[in-house]
């Protein structure tokens, strides 16, 4: 799915916290680059950024 939203977070870590993904398994792509979890707080968000978040969901 493709969602376009106005930025309400100043960095990627705030976005992940808002999505309640902290402590879970996920990957973040920012402008076509994979970002390590240790760098999320340093990536500042701007209009026109392309962000993709992928997380796993258990099931069986």
Every domain of the chain and the residues it spans: 12-55
- Quickly tell me which residue has 């707080």 as its tokens: 41
pLDDT profile of the chain (60 residues), mean per 10 = 65 93 95 97 93 87
> Please, are residues 12 and 34 in contact by the beta-carbon 8 Å criterion?
no
Q: What is the pLDDT of residue 9?
A: 80
Q: What is the pTM of this model?
A: 0.80
Q: What are phi and psi of 21, to 5 degrees?
A: -105, -5
Q: What homologous superfamily does CATH list for 12-55?
A: Beta-grasp domain (3.10.20.30)
């Amino acid at each position: 799915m493709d969602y376009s939203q106005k930025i309400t977070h100043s960095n990627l870590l705030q976005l992940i916290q808002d999505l309640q993904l902290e402590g879970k398994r996920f990957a973040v792509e920012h402008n076509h680059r994979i970002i390590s979890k240790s760098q999320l707080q340093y990536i500042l968000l701007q209009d026109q950024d392309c962000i993709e978040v992928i997380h796993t969901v258990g099931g069986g």
